[in-house]
Amino acid sequence: MYFPIITDPYFYAVAIPAVLLLGISKSGFGTGFGSLAVPLMALSVSVPQAAAILIPVLLVMDLFGLAVFRKNVDLPFLRFLIPLGVLGSLIGFLLFKVMDTHLVAGLVGGFTLLFLAQRLLFPPKPDSMPPPRWVGAILTVVSGFTSFVAHAGGPPVSAYVIPMRLSPLQFTSTMAWFFFAINLSKWIPYAWLGLLDARNMATSLALLPLVPVGVWVGLSMAKRISPKHFYRLIAVGMFLTGSKLLWDAFA
């Protein structure tokens, strides 16, 4: 049976690093790095096609992450996050065909850089309170929305979760389960929009062997790095993501 797989070498030059970054994201670092995947692939294909190709890859990576981090999840916090994230994903589905993806990229990128600037200029004190729940609700809905549009849901929800000061493993586990639920909710809408065609799915199948490589690298880093360096790497990843998305919006 013939599968019309993408054969452009330039596509794989950007898709392979993108998939590896997604694998690293399942260790918790993807709050910044994983959001670079679609922007990277969009250098070769459209944003909707890049998002569709990554759907099966994300599912396999989510399963890897859940298998490793199933014991450290904050269940009460997760029960708060998931319904709001799915609501944001539904909004993304309803607006998908009428909104400008460059505008979405600019909003996500700008918000990410503003959050980092706020953290640098006004660092939280040891006794400072985490953001109120209504702020967390808005950010989580935004996360579901941007995740549906461009798999870039990490920065908004991180603006709420990072100040909660979870341990690296607890942060990783909670985010792994959150994005598993969000990514699972995208399958039927993506199929409804006609994005899960044979060409995209065959190309995704060709990229799947990279999944264990990226996940292994990410999990190894998550278990060995100190909390201080852990969040510094997240900040670097979020800076790269915000800059790239903002560049895409204006380029």
Rg (CA), the chain: 17
pLDDT at 182: 94
- pLDDT digits (tens), the chain, 251 positions: 455 788 888 899 889 988 887 877 765 554 556 667 777 787 788 778 888 999 998 888 888 777 777 777 888 899 999 999 999 999 999 988 777 767 777 776 787 787 778 767 766 555 567 778 999 999 999 999 988 887 878 778 887 887 787 777 788 788 888 989 999 999 999 999 888 888 899 999 999 888 888 777 776 776 777 767 766 776 777 787 778 878 877 87
pLDDT at 33 (0 to 100): 64
**Alpha helices, DSSP H, located in the chain:** 9-25, 37-41, 47-68, 75-95, 101-121, 133-150, 154-161, 168-185, 187-192, 198-207, 211-224, 227-250
| Distance of alpha carbon 54 from alpha carbon 218, whole angstroms | 18
Angle at 183 between CA 24 and CA 161, to 5 degrees: 65
DSSP annotation of 130: P
Mapping DSSP to helix (H, G, I), strand (E, B) and coil, where does residue 245 land?
helix
Cβ(172)–Cβ(112) under 8 Å? Answer: no
φ, ψ (nearest 5 deg) of residue 7: -115, 0
Number of residues that make up the chain: 251
**What confidence score (pLDDT) does residue 138 get?**
94
